[in-house]
Structure formats: C-alpha cells, structure tokens
Structure 1
C-alpha cells in the first residue's frame, strides 16, 4: 500500500475517532476564560485587601495618634493641677481638634467631663486609658523614661520667680563663656523652671564647666532653697523605705549630669533597683498632693458620624490603576495569543479552500483539537476530489476508447462499401450487426452505471432459488466454455432461496462466469457453487485462470478496469462487467469479494441475504460514495 494512502487512512480514522476531551478547543477556551477570570478576581481581591488594609492602617494610625495626643494633653493637665474641676474647656477643645468624643470619669465612672454630654450616649465597656501622671502608660506616649512619673509633675520642686531669674542669668553667662571658647551652646528649661546648658559635643556637666567658666557653672549644680527643701522632704520618705529593706540611708542631691528632668536627680546612681524603687515610691507620695487624682479616659467616635469609611489616597489610586493595567495587559495578551493560535490554521484553511484546482492542495495538521479534525477532513476531501477528478478523466478516456473501436469498425466498413471496395453482402451485414450489438452492450452497461449513480436503479424482486439461477447461467455459457476448451461445472449445497431480481442476479453471475471463461486458458476449469453460510446465500465462481496481482486486486471493481492493459478485444471486454456486478450485488443488500493468486486462478463470491433473513439493503447514496472513494 502506498505511504500516502496509509497516511490518508490514518487521518480519516483520527477524524472519525473524535477529539480527546483534554485537547478539545471548547475545553481550552473554557480553561483560558476561567484562568483569566480567576487571575482577575485574585488580583482584584488582593488589590482591594491590600488597599483597604493600608488605608485602615493609616486610619488606625491617625486615630492612635489623635488618641495619644488626647492622652498626653490630659496627662499634662493632671500633672499641673490638683483636681479636674476646670478640665471641661480643655476636653471640649481637644474633641473639636481631633474629631473624637472625649469622656473623663472617676474610677467609679462618675462623669468629670464629656465633650458630647448632650447626646447621653452610653460609654463602652473598655477604658481607653487611665490618666494618672504618677503612673504613665508608656505604650500611649511612646516614652522610654526610667520612671513612669510624668516629668511635668514637679510639685514642690517648682522654682520661685527669683530663683528662675538667677539661674537663667547663670545659664546665659555659661553660654557666653562657651561661645568664646568656640563651643556654641543652647539653653533649655525643665518643667520646674531649672535651665540646662548643652552643646553639640558635650553636656554642661559639673566636672567640666566649672573649670572653664568659673563660679557661674557651680550655681547651676547647686540646688536652690526650694529644691533643697523638697529634696530633704524626699529623703524623709525614701530612707525609711531603705531601712525596711535592710539598706543604709542615702543623701539625695542635684548631680547635674546633662539634659534630664527632675525625676532623675537623685543619688547615688549605683544604689541599685531597691534604691530606685524606694525613691520612686517616695516621689509618688511626695507629688500626690500636687497632681489631679487618677481618672478613666474614654475616647470614641462622635455619635452619628460615619467612622467606617476612608478616603482613597492618591497612592492607593495609583496602585489600583497599576494593578488594573497589569490585569488588562495579561488579559489582552492571553486573548491575542489564543486568537492567533485559532486564526492561523483557519486562515490557512481559507487560503487552501480558495485554490481548489491546485494540485496536492493540503494544509498542515498541527493540533489535535476540532481545528485539527477540520484540517484532516479538508485534506481527506481534497484527496477524494483529486481521486474523483482522476477517475473522471480516466472514465472519459476509457468511454471514448470503448466507443471508438466499434464505431471505427462500422465507419470503416461503410466507407469501404461506399467506395466500392467491399460488397454489402450478408457476411458484412452480420459483421456490422455484431459491432452495433457491441456498441449497444457498452451503452447499456454505461446506462446501468449511470442509473446506479443517480439512485434510479430499480429491482423487481421475487422469491428465487439460487440453484436455478446458477443452472440457467451455466447453461447459457456452456457453448462459450466448450469453444474455449474450458471445463464448466456447477454444484449446489442444499436448496437456498433468496429475494432478488432474477434477471439482474443472472446478469451479475453471468458477468463473473464470462470473465472467468475469458481469462482461463484452454484445458482449465471454471466451477460455480452455491451454498448457505451464516444466513447468507453464497454464489462462488472459481477459475484456474491467470489470476490477479496483489497490486491490481483492490481495483478489480473499478469502472473500466481490465487486467489486459492493452485493452485488446481478444483478451478483454468493456471493463464495466465487474463494476456492474458490484452495483447489482449491493443493490440486493449484499457484497462481492475476490481472492486471487497470480498464475493460479481467482475466486469471486457473492454474499446475498437469504430469504429467511431481512435483506441488508445499503443506502444507495452511501454505496455510491463508497464506490467513488475506491
């Protein structure tokens, strides 16, 4: 079998088998759409989540900053006032500035001040903070001081006006001295009113400044009378605590060691954690009469205000645009890629369909999906069209050849009679009649072939005994077989019956028998047998003739096929007999097969449905299609 036929058969088989689900174009389009949708949803969800989280973090940070601002302001008020009696204006100002509702209550939740008192909204169960300048919450202030006491709670350490003036003058003298030495300095003031002198490279410490700036530096290192009295009072509170801990009493002074607040001005610095605890407890007890009592702070949203939304910032808008552009780019790229993969083979198919007359008009099959199946079907259609065109040309050529021979003979003899070369006697008339009968036989065969192709072939069926058909055909060809010195025999196994057109069935068996006698050399034999196999009536014609080669065997039923390529009238007929046999057999709902060995003979078998079985009539259009494909 030629390799091209093998490829065609494999392609046709694959197109009939269908496209696997995993390679289906519909599945791939659906998968691509789902992938794009999933990516879009995921990108949108991620963008929404990140943008919302970022905005909420910003909003939360702003709220925390405003809450910390409120807490610090109220701590400062508590550190500098002995009670909360006059805090309402400050609370109202803070609420207006921060846009929050601020409520101060006692530990028993008695209201001290409420920025939205007219609304009488219930307070939340959780407290925002406890305002106590002697126990500051460093998580709200962000401070890292050594003591939780607010530095603004100075109490008895607050300097008098005269003391502030004297210390300020000394600080200015020190800064002037340092400036002459080429060391710029700054003056800052602690909440108690004590000034501090600092430089970029050193602090105004006692061991350094007195040596370079004289007595003015010593003024800043000695406690004032106010501070001395407060420190003496603090010693009276700290030393009993130390004695209870089994430690020696200490003396507390002002060791001027840099920019520090009053809560760190105690000595010695290496007294340990016990000393620090006692000093801290003593300072709380000392400062308690000078600060406001502990209060509960509630900071909430303003009643009726929308606190759930947030504004879309410019940065968030840019992120949304960027992610949307990225998703759009990916979507367009995927769509372009998929459409290109779809359009390329379709464009190739369109171009091929626009040039149907081109030889070997084929398209490459690059996929296994529906488009690949379409390409396979197109290639198969092109191959069939080329075969049909070749068969049409061969048929025109063969019909012309078959008709030319008898017509040439008739014309030649008639011209001879007209020219006086031949005499129109009885032998000539008989010769012309034989040529006319041959011409009529060819025309009748062509008419049968055309009728079958046009689906106008009609059978007149009746119940027929196969043995009678075989006997009649053998009797009609007995003289021809005797003349060719070929032994003709027939046999019947049982008495099978079938529903058939007796005349057409005799024609089919007669064509097979005529071919067998013609191709069997003198001394050979031809046998006709009939039997029943698997509810089918078999009529077999076996000969011991020249046989058919394996290359020619698939074409024996083609129109105008002849084993003798010279198409000699001495060795062959019109080339339509076997084609008509196949048509007649298929019209009866059967089939014809052939087996042959070159040089040993051939066996033609008609498989016809018996009268007991329903006739397996084939669709005439399908039969015609099969014949054209062969």
Structure 2
C-alpha cells in the first residue's frame, strides 16, 4: 500500500506539472485567450486537487481498514488457539495423571470456561457476518429481559475474578420484544468489555430500569475510560481502543460493532459517557418502550 501511495503522488505531481506546461504553451501561442485559459485552468486545477485529496483519503482509509482486518485475523487466531491449548492441556493432564475428584472437577470447570469463551467468539463472528447482509432481519419475540440480564451476569460473575463484584440493579419482570439471541450478545459484549477494561477485581455496575416511556440499560466500569476522539470510533468494525503496539487487552474489535448494529435494527440507541472519577458508562435506550 505504501508503494501504491508513492506512485500515486508521483503521478499526481506529474499530471499537475503537465497541466501547467500545456497552459503555458497555450497562452504563449494564443495570448488573446490568456484570461480564459487562466480561469478555466484554475478551476480545473482546483477540481483536480480536490479529486487527489479525496482519492488519497480513500486509499488511506482502505489501508487502515486492511490493517484492521489483518489485526482481526491475528486476534481471532490467538483467541482460538489460546483456549484450545488450555483445554488440551487440562484434558491431557486428567488422562495422564492420577488426580483426585476435586482436581478433576477443577480442571473440567476451567475447560468449560475456555469452551464458553470459544463459543462466545464464534457467536460474535457469525453474528457480525449476518449483520453485514442488509437484507438480514432479526427474528423478534417477547421474552423476559430482566431474567436474560441476570443470567448473563451470573455466568460472567462465575468466570470472573473471585473477588470481582458485578453489582446489579435489575428491575424485575421487564418484557422486551426483540431478537433474544442478538440482545443476549449485546448485554454479554457490554459487560465483558467493562470487565476486560477494568482494573483486576474491580466493580462493574449494571442497571436495568424503566424511565418514562423508555427502557434504560447502563453498564459502568472504573477503568481508564475512553478518550473523546475515540468515542465516535469504537463502534466501527475491527476498531479497538489504543494502538496495536501498546494494547494489552484481548479482543477482535467486533463486540461494539455488533452492539451498535443490533441496537440500530431494534430502533435503540447507545451512548458513551465518562464515569466519575474514572471509567466509562455505556447507556442503551429502547425508546417508546411498552412492556
């Protein structure tokens, strides 16, 4: 891509030089049309330069997108290999060593967590692929949203640090008409992100409540927070906060893209706010909720 940009700049420079050269020659041999040549030449140069800038921005955008795709493939490969290697090691240990009942139970429990992690990754990739198809419609049904959120939180609490607290305030018996699988993915992504970007064993707050005619779901963490210039980018496909050389957290860059796209298909909105004194708050609003 860098070589392509280099030759693009060379050709653009050559084209502008040729334009000036032909303009000079035309004025030299037809001096009585000098004003017309200069006027039309300036307009042409302006349009040409604007086209160059537009094309340059497009090429750079494609380069960044290509880089993000490569990072995504590397991340997915790592995310797949890591739990697979872990499960393999646990099972080999169980088979080769004479472990007592409690040790076997512990190893199998850890293997199950890694399998759930793989299942979560595969679900994200499959859902992201489906959402790319604009004609894809999410099948909607009525379900207990309060129970769904509680189930997600219970599962994530079991897989998190033993002293980590997922503090919840879930209003009971809230029914939502939506795609249950997709909404489960939304809640899961938001809470997992909050855990992932929080300090070890920190508190994550999750609230679900009715507000006037709206339904409000908030997920708050106490991590480093998100810079203002990145808040509008984090929902882009493959985008991840920070840069590849300094980023320490695992991920594929699909989670928040899925969250945003699923919510759009449900006529819901999501906002990112700063938490006090540190961290971020993700606020999901189902407007004109009736349930």
- Superposition TM-score tier, normalisation by shorter sequence: 0.5 to 0.7
Query: Alpha-carbon deviation of 1:407?
Result: 6.0
Out of 462, 476, 491, the residue aligned to residue 155 of structure 2 is: 476
TM norm structure 2: 0.65
Q: Spell out the pairing of 1:556-571 with structure 2 (5 A cutoff).
A: 556-563=234-241, 565=243, 571=249
Residue in structure 2 matched with residue 393 of structure 1 by the alignment: 66
Residue in structure 1 matched with residue 76 of structure 2 by the alignment: 403
Residue in structure 2 matched with residue 581 of structure 1 by the alignment: 259
Higher RCO (CA < 8 A, seq sep 6+): 2
- Greater share of helix: 2
Residue in structure 1 matched with residue 105 of structure 2 by the alignment: none
Residues 1:349 and 2:47 are matched in the alignment: yes
Distance 1:454 1:388, change over 3 A: farther
Q: Spell out the pairing of 1:270-349 with structure 2 (5 A cutoff).
A: 341=39, 344-346=42-44, 348-349=46-47
Residues 1:528 and 2:206 are matched in the alignment: yes
SS in 2 for 1:560: coil
Query: Alpha-carbon deviation of 1:539?
Result: 0.6
Distance 1:494 1:407 in 2: 36
Residue in structure 2 matched with residue 425 of structure 1 by the alignment: 92
Give CA deviations for 1:433-470 in whole Å, capped at 9, x if unaligned: 98787566445423322332331433111234443332
Distance 1:388 1:476, change over 3 A: same
Between the two proteins, the alignment pairs up a number of residues equal to 246
Contact 1:593 1:605 in 2 (8 A): yes
Distance 1:409 1:486, change over 3 A: closer
Contact 1:526 1:543 in 2 (8 A): yes
Query: Alpha-carbon deviation of 1:491?
Result: 2.0
Rg larger for: 1
Distance 1:567 1:582, change over 3 A: farther
Q: Please list every run of 5 or more consecutive structure 1 residues that lacks an aligned counterpart in the other structure.
A: 1-334, 354-360, 363-378, 614-630
User: In terms of mean alpha carbon deviation, does 496-505 or 566-575 score higher?
Assistant: 566-575
Query: Alpha-carbon deviation of 1:505?
Result: 1.0
Contact 2:141 2:179 in 1 (8 A): yes
Distance 1:573 1:485, change over 3 A: farther
TM norm structure 1: 0.33
Residues 1:445 and 2:124 are matched in the alignment: yes
SS in 2 for 1:520: coil
Query: Alpha-carbon deviation of 1:512?
Result: 0.8
Contact 1:549 1:597 in 2 (8 A): no
Residue in structure 1 matched with residue 284 of structure 2 by the alignment: 606
